Amino acid sequence: MPVVTNCGIRSYAALAGTATLACGLLLAGLQAAAAREFRAVEVRGAEFIPEDDVRMTCGAMAGVDYSSIDLRAIEDCLMSTGVFDSVRLYPEGDLLIIEVAETDSRPGRVEGTISYVAQDGLTAELSFEQYNLFPSTYGALHLMYNTEVRSFDANLYRTDIRGEGLDLGLDLIARESDYDDQSYSHRSIRFEPYLAWMPDDDLRLEAGLGLRQQRMGNVDANASALVRQEAKDSQNTAPYLRFSLDFTSSTGLEGERADWARPGYSIALDQFFWNLGGSDPLSDTRFELQAQLPISETLRLQSGVRGGMVSGLSGNATRSIDRFFPGADTFRGFAPRGVGPRDSGDALGGNKFLVSYVELQRDFGEIFGSGMRGGIFFETGAAWGLDDTLNGQINDGWQNRSSIGLSLTFEVGETPVALYVAEPLRKQPGDEVQVFGLGFTARF
């Protein structure tokens, strides 16, 4: 008698084993045929949880075959995290869409920080942030204080103001510095609304129109004649424009061991037009390029170049508070404001600066319970150019400096620590040297 099964008809009981195997192979083939590969995975509805976290938590990746059963399993996995009210996966052309609705609509935090960097020294910071402070709007406050630098930042950021991808931000930034190694103080306040657009996960574009007030003050009697001259009528309040571009390759440069096996690069560009409509308009361009090249799973080569140029747009001269001061974290081996033109002991900064580096890094894995990475680096560059050299009294030409050193990063508890030792190979008279650098951030 024929026997009817879910897979068809078997004519003889003696062939049941063979037929069952054939049935299983056929069902597996049908399931494989239903699977499809997606060019990219797009997350929709995630306001506070990073999109990469949504994609990677349960393994939703581009270039992988997924059946409908696989997609339902990913939905169940994401729901099991407890942070979503709903999750739905569905195809849209060659895209896999992950549509989520987050559970916590107003997460926030208050955080205190004690940090140290060579540029500003030991610093206390207090931060507050609140998601959905207003509908779809992120709000934050940040206070920073040490004996030489004080700052206050307030930020509002609203997402998707005109469709997905176009955001509106508002920054209020106040800063005062009075460094012991400078003969003046600097105060500035900036208020800037801006638009941000991310056409994809790797590229971010911003454009802002703001208002800035700044001035030089408390000038020492024995300061450089150029500084004293620049401090006269230094206070101004004027609008400015800002354009920014930030691109990071999809692999990123975060430094996790998994990333070391893949190349990565990033590009950052900022263009400011300061003091519009005034007597001293300025063009201020800053850029930074970084790249990494894997050598092995635990060894990589990093390189980068950072630079800038500021100039008057109507024949006007720049001031010290407008110019660039590489050193410390931006030029290891030299002190903050350690390189560039000088007069009467004052660092004057340069209208232009360029610093490049190359570093060979090794991941040593876990040592005494802490991940440890070390490197050897070489840096070279300069700061140069003044509009006024006091009739040739100040040497503002290109004078190359370079340094070599060792770097080390590790954690003490949950506090990341970075340190380096560096020795200048080439320096100029008057340069300030800094052999040792330390950076850490402790949060509570």
pLDDT digits (tens, 9 = 90+) for 297-345: 889 999 999 999 999 999 999 999 999 999 998 999 999 999 999 999 8
Percent of the chain, pLDDT > 90? 57
Name the pairing type of β-strands 95-102 and 40-44.
Answer: parallel
Which residues are paired to 294 by β-bridges?
Answer: 300
pTM of the model: 0.76
Domain 17-102 has CATH 3.40.50.720: no
What CATH architecture is 108-443? Beta Barrel (2.40)
Q: Where in the chain is the domain with CATH 3.10.20.310?
A: 17-102
pLDDT digits 0-9 by tens, 81-137: 888 889 999 998 888 999 998 876 566 789 899 988 877 788 999 999 988 788 778
DSSP symbol at 380? E
pLDDT value of residue 162: 74
- Which amino acid makes up residue 329? D
Residue 260: both structure tokens together: 């070391």
* pLDDT band at residue 28 using 50, 70 and 90 as cut-offs: very low
How many Å apart are CA 144 and CA 152, to the nearest integer? 7
Distance CA 411, CA 348 (A): 37
Residue 292 and residue 304 in contact, taking contact as beta carbons nearer than 8 Å: no
Q: Which of 307, 317, 236 is nearest to 278 (CA)?
A: 236
In the predicted structure, residue 23 carries a pLDDT above the cut 50 = no
pLDDT in tens, 358-395: 999 998 888 877 788 999 999 999 999 999 999 999 99
Q: How far is CA 199 from the centre of its chain?
A: 18
For residue 59, what pLDDT is reported?
A: 81
- The amino acid sitting at 406 is L
DSSP 160: -
Q: Is 77 exposed, middle or buried (0-12, 13-18, 19+ CB in 10 A)?
A: middle
Ranges for all domains in the chain classified under CATH 2.40.160.50: 108-443
Q: Is the pLDDT of residue 183 over 50?
A: yes
- Give me the mean pLDDT over the 425-429 stretch: 94
**Residue 339: other Cβ atoms inside 10 A:** 33
E strands, 178-257, in order: 185-197, 203-217, 236-248
For 13, half-sphere exposure in the C-beta direction (CA atoms, 13 angstrom radius) is 1
Cα–Cα distance measured from residue 332 to residue 365, given in angstroms and rounded to the nearest whole number:
25
Q: Which two tokens stand for residue 194?
A: 């801006």
Total Cβ atoms within 10 A of residue 340: 30
Amino acid identity at 28: A
